Amino acid sequence: MDAETIRELDRRHLWHPYAPAAPATPAHPVAGAEGVRLRLSDGREVIDGMSSWWAAIHGHNHPRLNAAVRDQVGTMAHVMFGGLTHEPAVRVARRLAAMTGMERVFLADSGSVAVEVAIKMAVQATGRSRLLTVRGGYHGDTFGAMAVCDPVNGMHHMFTGVLPRHVFADRPPGGYGRPLGSSGQSPDEGAGGGAWPVDEAYLRHLDELVARHAGELAAVIVEPVVQGAGGMRFYHPAYLRRLRELADAHGLLLIADEIATGFGRTGELFGCDHAGVTPDIMCVGKALTGGYLTMAATLCTAEVAERVGVLMHGPTFMGNPLAAAVADASLTLLGERPWRHEVGRIEDGLAEGLAEAARAPGVKDVRVLGAIGVIETRAPVDVAKVQDIVMEHGVWLRPFGHLIYTMPPYGTLPDDLARITQAMLAAAHALPA
């Protein structure tokens, strides 16, 4: 099909995420992808500055991941996981357990489902049904996950009346990573990200809130150090450490939603590593398969598994062999590549390339952590206008709310990274004052 036919059929039949059935702006047809680039049907190439929603950390069309899928599909594409097992699932579970130190692995369909499973684990293990989380969080689009997203400023406020009511702490104070120009606090002079000041009043707020509700809480659930789709905010690891201490003191479980932060994105293998804590339950997804197939996992300690007993969840495609095979290949590849060096190089490039954006009148804040670069705007972003600008620079980004941000593949080289930051700067300077 030519590009215009694809657009027309798309407009007629498809419903895209977070959009009306017939959006005013048509989607851009993609004909192929290679490395860090997407090839559009009209012949243009753009750098995938989003890792295709943070998943394609190794880039596109990777020969090792392609081979894993080809080899597996010739043997077995799918088999039910109830009463059966297979080598790809066993391999990926063993690898995840070794990476996290968590013994039990439940293979789920998607990140949202992994969060649903984590909530079920916590409820079954404790016999209590409420969770504590922080405002500004995002944990997925299914009903259990939506209930622990920000109830006021999040994208799910229209469902508030039908969601369970959980306990929400205030947003963690911002401040971690590379500050490039902010209206808020700044780190101690001459220190790195870990030297950002800790807000003692916020720690007391957490102490008091957990103590007040401890008798009804099953668990605390948070995104470690980075709040993703709720605002791309970075917060001090000290707040995560305090939540671990409070969970221990009050007999609660700590659930770490590492779906966006896991597998190196923040500069550490997992977001929890910034704080030196281990959760009782962890959710991973997105980069798990390198962006090839949908798969996520909910991991827990042996103690939690024993308390849960029979876990009441069983997705049809749980442990899908194709997804498990490419997940195992992706994690193997991650372990072999110098991802810390790559992510550090991206962090340096983003910090250097985005610093100028802080001077744009329409910009509120600029921040970088690991392979994440964020321009926060004063007014809501005109998504179509920003996308037109960055695509003119040969870059694909997907801004939302007050954010123009990038999370590029780890193999993004300096020249391509410079194009991403130049595109973001052009978009920032085009913002209304």
Q: How many C-beta atoms surround the C-beta of residue 400 within 10 A?
A: 16
Q: Please give the backbone phi and psi of residue 17, each rounded to the nearest 5 degrees, phi first.
A: -65, 140
Element (H, E) at 108: strand 104-108
Asked if residue 257 belongs to a known ligand binding site, the reply is yes
Asked if residue 112 belongs to a known ligand binding site, the reply is yes
Please answer whether residues 253 and 218 qualify as being in contact, where contact means their C-beta atoms are separated by less than 8 angstroms: yes
Nearest-5° Cα angle at 392, 387 to 396: 45
Q: How far apart are CA 294 and CA 155, in angstroms?
A: 22
Asked if residue 314 belongs to a known ligand binding site, the reply is yes
Element (H, E) at 263: none
Residue 188 corresponds to which tokens in the numbers above? 């101690």
Asked if residue 183 belongs to a known ligand binding site, the reply is no
Asked if residue 261 belongs to a known ligand binding site, the reply is no
Q: How far apart are CA 333 and CA 411, in angstroms?
A: 12
Whether 385 sits among the annotated catalytic residues: the reply is no
Asked if residue 53 belongs to a known ligand binding site, the reply is yes
* Cα Dmax for the chain: 62
Please answer whether residues 253 and 214 qualify as being in contact, where contact means their C-beta atoms are separated by less than 8 angstroms: no
Q: Which of 2, 18, 170, 188 is catalytic?
A: 18
Q: How far apart are CA 43 and CA 31, in angstroms?
A: 9
Whether 410 sits among the annotated catalytic residues: the reply is no
Q: Which of 257, 280, 365, 416 is catalytic?
A: 257
Whether 416 sits among the annotated catalytic residues: the reply is no
Classify residue 340 as exposed, middle or buried by CB count within 10 Å of its CB (0-12, 13-18, 19+).
middle
Element (H, E) at 16: none
From residue 358, alpha-carbon distances to 12, 181, 366, 425 in Å are 41, 5, 6, 9
What one-character-per-residue DSSP string does 363-411 give?
EEEEEEETTEEEEEESS---HHHHHHHHHHTTEE---BTTEEEE---TT
Whether 405 sits among the annotated catalytic residues: the reply is no
Asked if residue 364 belongs to a known ligand binding site, the reply is no
Please answer whether residues 391 and 420 qualify as being in contact, where contact means their C-beta atoms are separated by less than 8 angstroms: no
Looking at residue 428, its amino acid is A
Q: Which of 109, 199, 280, 286 is catalytic?
A: 286
Asked if residue 133 belongs to a known ligand binding site, the reply is no
Q: Which of 48, 109, 138, 239 is catalytic?
A: 138
Asked if residue 315 belongs to a known ligand binding site, the reply is yes
Q: How far apart are CA 346 and CA 393, in angstroms?
A: 19
Output the known binding site for pyridoxal 5'-phosphate. 111-112, 257, 315-316
What amino acid positions are annotated as catalytic residues? 18, 138, 257, 286
Output the known binding site for substrate. 53, 138, 286, 314, 398
Output the known binding site. 53, 111-112, 138, 257, 286, 314-316, 398
